[in-house]
Amino acid sequence: MLFLIEYNREKGEIVNIRKFDESKKTDAESARLDLELDLRRKGTKHEVVILDAIDEARIRRTHRRYFESLEELAKAS
Amino acid sequence: MANNLNKTQVDKLGDRLRKGDITEAELRLLDDYRRSFSEAYEFVVRAIRDELGLEPTGRPAKSTTSIIEKLLRESIRLSQIQDIAGCRLVVSGIEEQNGTVTLLQKLFQRVTVVDRRKNPSHGYRAVHLIVRHEGKLVEIQVRTSLQHLWAELCEKKADVFDPLIKYGGGDSVTTALNLRFAAAIEDAELKEWQMSLADKVLSGLSARRGTLSKSKQAELDAFLKEQRTWRKKLDSYKKTIRDTLQELIAELENPDRG
């Protein structure tokens, strides 16, 4: 499963997340480029990244920073 | 297609990215360059999944933001960035980390190990393996759960407060707290690892205590006693980790924080 994430670093929050089946990798990559181009035109500085894992639970474990606030990260540890 | 760009052209693209105000054409070129790592990325992740039965989380291509930040932060060329494509494995502790690194070294023919436990980067500890596949590099990060916790907290602080925190910058209180937290984690992990090695030897010897001479039995008793002392030390290291986390939470909840 591929996860296309738009992340607002300053707020530390995910703006949007889209999921793609593993077989749709090219679609996910094209969506990433379209999103980056769109954000550039709008002058919005968000981080755009594709993550790849068998399920969302694993992404939430290995890339907690995208999903949890600093307080949540510290308290859940 | 940028897949056909030579090294000089890639580095020229990197120079333009470093200058900022990236154009649409440059964004497309960078995207093509990142996509050129797809095959190597898939080779590495598939091998880890199929041959080792492990489940890495992958990041097939570094984000534009992270690439530009790296170009600005380091005197590095775009073609030299080793983690355009990468994946991550989070394991329980040092013993499993060492075992996983050994398996990965055997799995890939052309691999370089960067042990950041020996040379931590501003408190960041982990083992990175750089695999070369058909001219492309793919980075595998192997972190213990505590090393991972440290990295996640540090990156999140860098996101919301100051990007420099990740590289040892930021305010002195945060820097000191990060380093203290990293040191507590290192102490606890090393002690736990040493204890687990000693446990194996001592339990083997204890099982055949009756066959040992009196002097060897006395030595074994002394080791077992020392092991109990170590266990108490480990508990104190773990307490330091909990205390440091509490300090961090208190710092975050401080209404006077800027």
Q: Is A47 on the interface with B (CB under 8 A)?
A: yes
Residue of A nearest to B144 (CA): A62
The rounded distance, in Å, linking the Cα atoms of B146 and B140 is: 17
Residues B13 and B122 grouped into a single domain: yes
Residues B136 and B15 grouped into a single domain: yes
The pLDDT value recorded for residue B248 is 80
Q: Is A54 on the interface with B (CB under 8 A)?
A: yes
B12 in any annotated domain: yes
Please say if the pLDDT value at position B196 is more than 50: yes
- Mean pLDDT (whole number) for B150-174: 89
The pLDDT value recorded for residue B236 is 86
Chain A residues with CB-CB distance to B35 below 8 A: 29
Please say if the pLDDT value at position B1 is more than 60: no
Residues B135 and B210 grouped into a single domain: no
Asked if B88 and A48 come within 8 Å (Cβ–Cβ), the reply is no
The pLDDT value recorded for residue B258 is 52
Give the residue from B79, B113, B144 where a domain finishes.
B144
The rounded distance, in Å, linking the Cα atoms of A55 and B204 is: 41
pLDDT in tens, B53-106: 999 999 999 999 999 999 998 889 999 999 999 999 999 999 999 999 999 999
- Mean pLDDT (whole number) for B38-55: 97
Residue of A nearest to B39 (CA): A25
The rounded distance, in Å, linking the Cα atoms of A22 and A30 is: 14
Looking at mean pLDDT, say which of B63-77, B114-128, B189-203 comes out highest.
Answer: B114-128
Of B39-48, B104-113, B206-215, least confident by mean pLDDT is B206-215
User: Which one is predicted more confidently, B250 or A45?
Assistant: A45
Residues B12 and B88 grouped into a single domain: yes
Best residue in B38, B39, B160, B249 to probe A by mutation, most A CBs within 10 Å?
A: B160
Chain B residues with CB-CB distance to A58 below 8 A: 55, 57
Chain A residues with CB-CB distance to B148 below 8 A: 62
Residues B55 and B132 grouped into a single domain: yes
Give the number of domains in chain A: 1
Asked if B152 and A45 come within 8 Å (Cβ–Cβ), the reply is no
The rounded distance, in Å, linking the Cα atoms of B206 and B20 is: 66
Residues B113 and B65 grouped into a single domain: yes
Range of the domain at B109: 2-144
Two tokens at B234?
């480990």
Residues B102 and B217 grouped into a single domain: no
> DSSP readout, chain B?
-GGG--HHHHHHHHHHHHTS---HHHHHHHHHHHHTTHHHHHHHHHHHHHHH----EEESS--HHHHHHHHHHSS--GGG-S-SEEEEEEESSHHHHHHHHHHHHHH-SSEEEEETTTS-BTTB--EEEEEEETTEEEEEEEEEHHHHHHHHHHHHHHHHT-GGGGGT-S-HHHHHHHHHHHHHHHHHHHHHHHHHHHHHHHHHHHHTGGGS-HHHHHHHHHHHHHHHHHHHHHHHHHHHHHHHHHHHHHHHH-TT--
- Mean pLDDT (whole number) for B166-179: 86
Name the residue facing A65 among B60, B87, B155 (closest C-beta). Answer: B155
Please say if the pLDDT value at position B255 is more than 70: no
Please say if the pLDDT value at position B239 is more than 90: no
Please say if the pLDDT value at position B2 is more than 50: no
Residues 6+ apart with CB under 8 A from A44: none
Name the residue facing A74 among B24, B159, B252 (closest C-beta). Answer: B252
Residues B100 and B208 grouped into a single domain: no
- What CATH number does the domain containing B112 carry? 3.30.460.10
Chain A residues with CB-CB distance to B252 below 8 A: 70-71, 74
B11 in any annotated domain: yes
Residues B98 and B218 grouped into a single domain: no
Residue of A nearest to B42 (CA): A52
Residues B137 and B94 grouped into a single domain: yes
Residue of B nearest to A9 (CA): B159
Name the residue facing A36 among B27, B153, B248 (closest C-beta). Answer: B27
Asked if B31 and A9 come within 8 Å (Cβ–Cβ), the reply is no
Residue of A nearest to B68 (CA): A47
Give the number of domains in chain B: 2
Asked if B160 and A11 come within 8 Å (Cβ–Cβ), the reply is yes
Task: Please identify which residue in the block is written with the tokens 């074994």.
Answer: B220
Q: Is A68 on the interface with B (CB under 8 A)?
A: yes
pLDDT in tens, B29-38: 999 999 999 9
Asked if A65 and B90 come within 8 Å (Cβ–Cβ), the reply is no
Task: Please identify which residue in the block is written with the tokens 């992740």.
Answer: B45
Residues B27 and B60 grouped into a single domain: yes
Two tokens at B47?
């091998």
Closest Cα in chain B, distance from residue A30 (Å): 9
The rounded distance, in Å, linking the Cα atoms of B153 and B175 is: 12
pTM value is 0.90
The pLDDT value recorded for residue B171 is 84
Residues B247 and B136 grouped into a single domain: no
The rounded distance, in Å, linking the Cα atoms of B8 and B96 is: 41
The pLDDT value recorded for residue B3 is 62
Range of the domain at A68: 2-76
Chain A residues with CB-CB distance to B31 below 8 A: 29, 32-33, 36
B158 in any annotated domain: no
Task: For chain B, give the percent of residues with pLDDT over 70.
Answer: 97
B22 in any annotated domain: yes
Chain A residues with CB-CB distance to B87 below 8 A: 52
Please say if the pLDDT value at position A77 is more than 70: no
B154 in any annotated domain: no
